[in-house]
């Protein structure tokens, strides 16, 4: 049985739509409370909750908390905090569940709800399916609201202590784009306390401008600001702070694949990469595999979604994994993707080697790659489409071991994603044009 409401990263959609609204959020809170009561450790009935800066976040969070408390859960609301702060708080508070109201990198018109289990990890597919099965038709009457508030920022920032030596960034100029989101008060503060001169972008949230032309999905302003100010590097987060995209001192952007390769190669040199294994998704560039194997390591690939990466890390005994989108999981520090931790880890490599980011990124030589995202009216089963499966098979045969194709639906948006990697830009462009043409024939693209 497949999930109805949950995608690759929680429940997500347009605010005010059939799913992301206060009534459904309250029902989801009830279902989550029923589920969490089965996970409770030592009789704990505590849930920690946080949100990003969207104007819809406060009322949705209150609705979730109302549903949770209606079934007897004690809710501790942390306020506006990065998603990894909620993951950490679950462990610190010995809670049975963590809830984040966020739509991550999506625009302000969207919102969503993510869950963490008592170990700070995101829930599995089976656990999310169980929550869906427990959804009530109506919300029980709340007899007594069991809701408290707490400062979620300070305990989260305390986790960063010791990742870099005190004062180690003195004399550094760093541009940081916080996407008008949940990291506006956290990442810049840590960098300043380490001695850096911080130039901020996307640091004036008003509830409506989260991810609007800024953040990890929009790095043009970051690159321009780095070049204009002579900064050592630029750092970009998404709206909820679990992504890290970088920009070197020349204004060239590094995606998640480059960040992960940089960190993995450094860890292999120091002998600290767990089982010499980096865990990435099927979306990552083939050049990552080549670089890590050449350094004596190995690469494991998972389905797209940082929680699948985490599951792979646990299974393989790795302490590093992530996605090309900028989710980077350093499990020796945090049990989930954390954009600030990833940035500090890269800064640590720069400090230890004395090399600029433009040189360190050279460890990854990417295969030529192209992607197309088609917004579709309906996510029809790919294997049953009349022409696309055959087109994929033919092009895969042409590429052989010189490239690969990945065609899948987005788990959070009504989009078909097509990716092609190959030996040359010309071949890649030809292949992706052919696939897009066939996809438009088989599907209703809007």
The whole-number pLDDT of residue 44 equals 72
Q: Average pLDDT for residues 232-245, to the nearest whole number?
A: 98
Phi, psi values for residue 182, rounded to 5°: -75, -15
pLDDT of 266 > 70? The answer is yes
Phi, psi values for residue 64, rounded to 5°: -60, -45
pLDDT of 8 > 90? The answer is no
The whole-number pLDDT of residue 383 equals 96
pLDDT of 433 > 60? The answer is yes
CATH entry, 6-151, from 3.30.1330.10, 3.40.50.300, 3.30.420.40, 3.40.120.10 = 3.40.120.10
pLDDT of 1 > 80? The answer is no
- pLDDT confidence band for 393 (50 / 70 / 90): very high
> Range(s) for CATH 3.40.120.10 in the chain?
6-151, 157-253, 256-343
The whole-number pLDDT of residue 40 equals 54
CB atoms within 10 A of CB 62: 21
Gap between the Cα atoms of 11 and 13, Å rounded: 7
Q: Tell me what percent of the residues of the chain surpass a pLDDT of 90.
A: 92
pLDDT of 142 > 80? The answer is no
Q: What spatial distance separates the first Cα and last Cα of the chain, rounded to whole Å?
A: 29
**pTM score, whole prediction:** 0.91
Q: What is the pLDDT of residues 292-340, one digit of tens each?
A: 999 999 999 999 999 999 999 999 999 999 999 999 999 999 999 999 9
| Architecture of the 157-253 domain | 3-Layer(aba) Sandwich (3.40)
Active-site residue set: 104
Q: Average pLDDT for residues 179-191, to the nearest whole number?
A: 98
Alpha carbon of residue 264 to chain centroid = 18
Taking a C-beta distance cutoff of 8 angstroms, is the pair 97, 31 a contact? no
Determine the CATH number of domain 369-442.
3.30.310.50
Q: Average pLDDT for residues 410-425, to the nearest whole number?
A: 92
Fold of 256-343: Alpha-D-Glucose-1,6-Bisphosphate; Chain A, domain 3 (3.40.120)
Choose from 81-90, 141-150, 404-413 the range with maximum mean pLDDT: 81-90
The whole-number pLDDT of residue 42 equals 46
The Cα-based distances of 311 to 18, 242, 325, 412 in angstroms read 31, 17, 18, 19
pLDDT of 41 > 60? The answer is no
The whole-number pLDDT of residue 413 equals 83
Query: And the tokens for 347?
Result: 């800064």
- pLDDT confidence band for 39 (50 / 70 / 90): low
- pLDDT confidence band for 145 (50 / 70 / 90): low
Q: What is the pLDDT of residues 366-390, one digit of tens each?
A: 999 999 999 999 999 999 999 999 9
Gap between the Cα atoms of 177 and 168, Å rounded: 21
- pLDDT confidence band for 138 (50 / 70 / 90): confident
DSSP-assigned letters across all residues of 361-411:
GGG--PPPEEEEEEEBS----GGG-SSHHHHHHHHHHHHGGG-EEEEEE-S
């Amino acid at each position: 049985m497949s999930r109805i409401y949950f995608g690759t990263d929680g429940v997500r959609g347009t605010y005010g739509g059939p799913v992301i609204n206060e009534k459904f959020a309250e029902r989801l809170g009830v279902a989550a409370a029923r589920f969490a009561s089965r996970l409770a450790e030592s009789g704990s009935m505590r849930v920690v909750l946080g949100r990003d800066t969207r104007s819809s976040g406060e009322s949705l969070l209150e609705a979730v908390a109302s549903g949770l408390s209606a079934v007897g859960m004690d809710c501790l609301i942390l306020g506006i905090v990065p998603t990894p702060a909620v993951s950490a708080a679950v462990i610190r508070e010995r809670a049975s569940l963590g809830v984040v109201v966020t739509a991550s990198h999506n625009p302000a018109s969207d919102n969503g709800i993510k869950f963490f289990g008592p170990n700070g990890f995101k829930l599995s597919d089976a656990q999310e399916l169980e929550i869906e099965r427990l959804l009530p038709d109506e919300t029980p009457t709340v007899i007594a609201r069991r809701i408290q508030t707490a400062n979620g920022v300070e305990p989260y920032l305390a986790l960063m202590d010791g990742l870099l030596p005190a004062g180690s960034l003195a004399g550094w100029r760093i541009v940081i784009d916080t996407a008008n989101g949940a990291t506006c008060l956290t990442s810049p503060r840590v960098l300043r306390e380490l001695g850096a001169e911080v130039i901020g972008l996307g640091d004036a949230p008003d509830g409506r401008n989260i991810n609007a032309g800024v953040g990890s999905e929009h790095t043009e302003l970051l690159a321009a600001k780095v070049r204009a100010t002579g900064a050592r590097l630029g750092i970009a987060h998404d709206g909820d702070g679990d992504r890290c995209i970088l920009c070197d001192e020349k204004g060239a952007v590094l995606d998640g694949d480059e960040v992960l390769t940089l960190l993995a190669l450094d860890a292999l040199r120091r002998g600290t990469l767990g089982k010499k294994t980096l865990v990435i998704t099927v979306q990552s560039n083939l050049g990552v595999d080549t670089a890590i194997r050449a350094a004596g390591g190995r690469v494991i690939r998972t389905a797209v979604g940082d929680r699948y990466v985490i599951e792979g890390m646990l299974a393989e005994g790795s302490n590093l994994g992530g996605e090309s989108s900028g989710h980077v999981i350093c499990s020796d520090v945090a049990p989930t993707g954390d954009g600030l931790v990833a940035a500090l880890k890269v800064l640590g490599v720069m400090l230890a080697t004395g090399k600029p980011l433009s040189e360190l990124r050279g460890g990854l030589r990417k295969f030529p790659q192209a992607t197309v995202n088609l917004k579709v009216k309906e996510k029809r089963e790919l294997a049953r489409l009349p022409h696309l499966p055959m087109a994929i098979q033919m092009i895969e045969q042409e590429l052989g071991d010189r490239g690969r194709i990945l065609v899948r639906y987005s788990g959070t948006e009504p989009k078909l994603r097509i990716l092609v990697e190959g030996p040359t830009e010309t071949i890649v462009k030809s292949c992706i044009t052919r696939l897009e043409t066939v996809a438009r024939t088989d599907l209703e693209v809007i």
